[in-house]
Structure 1
């Protein structure tokens, strides 16, 4: 990926070979108060004076980005009544479709397994909402000016307690998991996804291996966090 960061603050514009430059910032959070706080940090602490738009759910991200992707997307992993799995699936799509766009995850999900998946999504920065505003400022000023992924101190602390895993799930594996956690069987998922049942079974098996689950009982008993519903309605 060949991108150009014209300025870390002020005007944001990133370009990628064969793609037009994105402009502005898009914030996605179910809580309007949280979104306002993020916007305030961007303007007052990061000096960003581009247009800043706000949406409250994953669907809002898709509708905005399909028209004109921003230079920077700051998002929670899911909105009200949305599944975390849906957010992970969207992240995979965004990294493939808009590689020049910078993505920062700001979330309340602090489970190390969730954080491992977010790290593997190749988001440019990851932090938790309850961290000081300085964490977001550092994420913007440091995470967007280099190639390395920026993790907040709290995220690093939570991940340091676990052994690193190669947990990167493919879009197809996430699609299969989303079907299974919605109550579908493997055969029903195959029909929904218009795939051969053997292909779906392979995606399921590969996803379980990456996540450390050995059988269906473990998948559904210990993997319920993957289908967790998003936060309460915003103000």
Structure 2
């Protein structure tokens, strides 16, 4: 049997070779996850002009008003904040910028919460749950 790829477009050609992003805003509390996000976005297939980082969810609207972000990657809550703060900010963000790209990065795995996020219309969900296995 012979397998031919003639006429089949590879998946890698279906997406841009370089993603040009004017401004990315990252809100992540875990240093390991933040380092991973930074490393990923520093790869040559991402061209980012401006990097913005905040440590609290409540800071996101203030930064967005001054520097409109093309991509927001955020945890649901910062130190001392509740998940409800994050959900409120997501709602505001999607209401004001419905075509904006938003990625939620969280260690939480509650099905009800994830269904709520999907219903809100966010772009993607990344699990940042870290498990240590000796």
TM-score w.r.t. length of structure 2: 0.76
Extract unaligned runs of 5+ from structure 1: 1-6, 13-22, 132-235
More strand by share: 2
CA RMSD of aligned residues (A): 1.9
Change (3 A) 1:116 1:45: farther
Equivalent position of 1:113 in the other structure: 112
Equivalent position of 1:11 in the other structure: 20
Equivalent position of 2:40 in the other structure: 41
Q: How big is each residue's C-alpha offset from its partner over 1:119-152, in whole Å with a ceiling of 9 and x where there is no partner? A: 1110011120138xxxxxxxxxxxxxxxxxxxxx
Q: How big is each residue's C-alpha offset from its partner over 1:35-66, in whole Å with a ceiling of 9 and x where there is no partner? A: 22201111227423332221111122122001
Question: What is the rounded CA distance, in whole Å, between the counterparts of 1:69 and 1:9 in structure 2?
Answer: 21
How many equivalent pairs are there?
115
Question: What is the rounded CA distance, in whole Å, between the counterparts of 2:28 and 2:117 in structure 1?
Answer: 17
TM-score w.r.t. length of structure 1: 0.45
Provide runs of 4+ in structure 1 moved above 6 Å.
none
Provide the secondary structure at the position in 1 that maps to 2:98: coil
Equivalent position of 1:68 in the other structure: 67
Extract unaligned runs of 5+ from structure 2: 1-15
Equivalent position of 1:30 in the other structure: 29
Change (3 A) 1:11 1:121: same
More helix by share: 1
